[in-house]
A and B are shown apart, each in its own frame.
Chain A
């Protein structure tokens, strides 16, 4: 495991929006550097809010959130590089695929010299053909747009990869294909990956550990360790052991909802 990945520690984190809506209540967890953790819960349970708190886009109302390396106790948030993948690809329509992928490098003023090679590397990593890199989003299919979005999140070689239901809008076959791609990318780069989803089988297939969140206000109800070895193959989905794991997490999810 590379030492590039940063850990995420949440200590009694709560988030109350203006108007009194409690999105997250008392969430405490530790995600180690390089770990793949899925957060599952019903829609509107504050999963997205939690991701945005981790990314530093919003500050928690109470509680502490620490992101950084275990050795450097006082690491500031800016030191950890984040990649964020949204539910929709959220590409800029007026930029080509490679220009979209290069955007984060422009924004944080990365050296001009190796930008194009980093963009090409990220596009190759997500399996986008070179011919497609000069196309604008409207010329790409839904699956290819999501690959571009993934490449944009990976181009800065993030230490922490945050994924907010990225494959929720895709059909099942495409979703499974992209699950395999994501697993391959994670194994190759080994960032800390935090994957929000409401699809239990997707969470079991990808994650080392699953946090089960209750409906609003979101609390961490359970933690499930997924025992399967990597690399996980599509055949795994057909095994009884896989079905049993999915059943267990679904049961916990139902229990958390009542």
Chain B
């Protein structure tokens, strides 16, 4: 117990000390050179801005979190469905896969105007961007999992006259869980990034609450750098929390799906 506490302390303490040292240096530099706050506000300025705008920041973080989670869930649903279709035939896979790469390679900025044209601005379009950015790892990993089933197990299913559906639901889908979890981890991080990028380009709708991406963009144009920094910190924390949550759920799920203890 004592040893465990000491090792946790030795892991956590150095980065915290470094963080405090950097904050102090930052504060010192800003005060020493009298840097104007529209270029670089001091840590205390950022702290004040965070307190003053706490309602706005909390609301924006909530909107962005909702967009990221929605985008991630749509990616998971659509990605796994596409992978199931891909797993049913090599010809389907070969025909459609080059087009699935579209999601991986398309620069989102380039198609943002089209998204605004077809879907308008606001939350729905933000989720659409998050989905486009985050679906590819799920498609590839789930397809790999569904198609790389142990040939002996496929033989066993054939020996007992299993139907295509039985093979899919009792063997391929459960067998693909570990690789789908791997894809979901990558996808969850991308969904947060995709949401913030989406809020930059397609997020503005005056009738809705806005997210962190829009807040960053708007505050930058108004030279409220302190607010921008608050939003950046919150966006980073949000990304960490979503990634951590998906990793935790993934680890719990994987426990059931691996033979090696």
Q: Which chain A residues have a beta carbon within 8 Å of chain B's beta carbons?
A: 52, 55-57, 78, 82, 84, 86, 88, 90-94, 103-104, 106-108, 136-139, 156
Q: Which of B44-52, B150-158, B243-251 contacts A (4 or more CB under 8 A)?
A: B150-158
Asked if B160 and A92 make an inter-chain contact with CB atoms under 8 angstroms apart, the answer reads no
B contact residues around A93 at 8 Å (CB):
256-259
Asked if A84 and B156 make an inter-chain contact with CB atoms under 8 angstroms apart, the answer reads yes
State the 6 A-B residue pairs at the shortest beta-carbon distance, nearest first: A107-B160, A93-B259, A107-B162, A138-B261, A104-B160, A86-B152
Q: Which chain B residues have a beta carbon within 8 Å of chain A's beta carbons?
A: 150, 152-153, 155-162, 166, 170-171, 174-175, 177, 256-261
B contact residues around A55 at 8 Å (CB):
155, 159
In angstroms, Cα B161 to Cα A90, docked, is: 18
Residue of B nearest to A55 (CB): B159
Our pick among B150, B166, B177, B261 for the contact of A90 (Cβ within 8 Å) is: B150
In angstroms, Cα B162 to Cα A108, docked, is: 7
Asked if A92 and B159 make an inter-chain contact with CB atoms under 8 angstroms apart, the answer reads no
CB pairs A–B below 8 angstroms (5 shown): A84-B159, A92-B174, A104-B156, A104-B160, A107-B161
In angstroms, Cα B260 to Cα A88, docked, is: 13
Q: With both chains docked as a complex, state the minimum distance between the C-beta of B259 and any C-beta of chain A, in angstroms.
A: 4
Asked if A90 meets B160 with Cβ closer than 8 Å, knowing A136-B256, A138-B260, A139-B261, the reply is: no
Asked if A137 and B259 make an inter-chain contact with CB atoms under 8 angstroms apart, the answer reads yes
A84-B155, A94-B256 given; name 8 further pairs at CB < 8 Å: A92-B153, A92-B171, A94-B174, A103-B156, A104-B156, A107-B160, A107-B170, A136-B256
Asked if B170 and A90 make an inter-chain contact with CB atoms under 8 angstroms apart, the answer reads no
In angstroms, Cα B27 to Cα A240, docked, is: 91
Asked if B261 and A108 make an inter-chain contact with CB atoms under 8 angstroms apart, the answer reads no
Q: With both chains docked as a complex, state the minimum distance between the C-beta of A179 and any C-beta of chain B, in angstroms.
A: 22
In angstroms, Cα B256 to Cα A216, docked, is: 41
A contact residues around B161 at 8 Å (CB):
78, 107-108
In angstroms, Cα B158 to Cα A78, docked, is: 12
Asked if B155 and A107 make an inter-chain contact with CB atoms under 8 angstroms apart, the answer reads no
Q: With both chains docked as a complex, state the minimum distance between the C-beta of A112 and any C-beta of chain B, in angstroms.
A: 15
Asked if B170 and A106 make an inter-chain contact with CB atoms under 8 angstroms apart, the answer reads yes
Q: With both chains docked as a complex, state the minimum distance between the C-beta of B253 and any C-beta of chain A, in angstroms.
A: 10
Asked if B159 and A82 make an inter-chain contact with CB atoms under 8 angstroms apart, the answer reads yes
